């Protein structure tokens, strides 16, 4: 059997090889826990990381790889102030008629504001927000902060990627 600690060692090698410019923290769960906590700033999306690390878990979709004791990967992706600023500018450029996005000062909004949900301004439900070819978010309960956070969540922010 491959322990959770051994799985995290393998995971570290995989993320270093796949995303050499992104710093990851990968820790085995404490005590009898059977998970790996994975944290990083900006970089790839959560699904991209999860897909790369799933082979080191005993998830049902691994087939023959059931000898891993690590049950799951718990992702914690954060964003830098620079990524937030760049995303707000990108959203404003792509959605020039959106009244609440136009009012945002990209330099004044921080990653902490996004993380703690401090942008409570309701977004106009009559104005959809797009990022490239994707609908970011809509609905009467949507806030400007949720729009920015959704756009960040769906974007690969790895240095050197085109969609940054």
Statement to judge: residues 98 and 72 lie in one domain: no
Residue 138 banded pLDDT, cuts 50, 70, 90: low
If phi over 0 gives left and psi between -120 and 50 gives alpha, with beta otherwise, what is residue 36?
A: beta
Whole-angstrom Cα distance, residue 82 to residue 64? 42
Mean of the per-residue pLDDT values of the chain: 87
Among 41, 62, 78, where does a domain finish?
78
Q: How far apart are CA 106 and CA 84, in angstroms?
A: 8
Q: How confident is the model at residue 12 (pLDDT cuts 50, 70, 90)?
A: very high
Residue 159 lies in a domain: no
Domain co-membership, 11 together with 43: yes
Check whether residue 66 and residue 116 sit in a common domain: no
**Residues 53, 55, 56: CA angle, nearest 5 degrees:** 75
pTM, whole model, 2 decimals? Answer: 0.85
- For residue 30, the model assigns a pLDDT of 79
Same domain for 86 and 54, yes or no, is no
Would you give the DSSP letter of residue 137?
E
Burial label for 59, CB within 10 Å (0-12, 13-18, 19+), is middle
Strand order in the sheet with 35-41: 24-28, 35-41, 72-78
- pLDDT at site 22: 97
One domain, residues 12 and 40? yes
Task: Note down the domain range covering 30.
Answer: 4-78
pLDDT band with cut points at 50, 70 and 90 for residue 164: very low
Looking at residue 107, the DSSP 8-state letter turns out to be T
- Amino acid 49: pLDDT: 96
pLDDT of the residue at 119: 84
160 is a domain residue: no
Residues 54 and 96 reside in one and the same domain:
no
Q: Is the domain of 58 the same as that of 121?
A: no
Q: Are residues 67 and 97 in the same domain?
A: no
**Total tally of structural domains belonging to the chain:** 2
Q: What is the mean pLDDT of residues 117-138?
A: 82
On the question of pLDDT at 37 being above 90, the answer is yes
β-pairing, 72-78 vs 35-41, is: parallel
| Residue 48 placed within a domain | yes
CA-based angle 141:147:148, to the nearest 5? 145
Does 48 lie in the same domain as 94?
no
What is the pLDDT, as a whole number, of residue 120? Answer: 82
Residue 69: per-residue pLDDT: 80
Same domain, 99 and 142: yes
């Amino acid at each position: 059997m491959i322990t959770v600690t051994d799985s995290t060692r393998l995971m570290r090698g995989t993320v270093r090889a796949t995303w050499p410019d992104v710093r990851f923290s990968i820790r085995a769960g404490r005590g009898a826990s059977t998970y790996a906590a994975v944290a990083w700033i900006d970089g790839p999306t959560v699904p991209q990381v999860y897909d790369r690390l799933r082979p080191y878990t005993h998830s049902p979709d691994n087939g023959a790889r059931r000898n891993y004791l690590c049950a799951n990967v718990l992702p914690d992706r954060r964003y830098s102030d620079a990524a937030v600023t760049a995303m707000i500018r990108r959203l404003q450029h792509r959605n020039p008629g959106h009244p609440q996005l136009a009012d945002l000062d990209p330099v004044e909004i921080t990653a902490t504001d996004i993380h703690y949900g401090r942008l409570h301004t309701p977004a106009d439900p009559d104005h959809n927000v797009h990022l490239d070819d994707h609908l970011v978010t809509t609905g009467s309960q949507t806030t400007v902060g949720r729009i920015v956070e959704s756009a960040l969540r769906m974007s690969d922010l790895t240095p050197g990627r085109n969609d940054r």
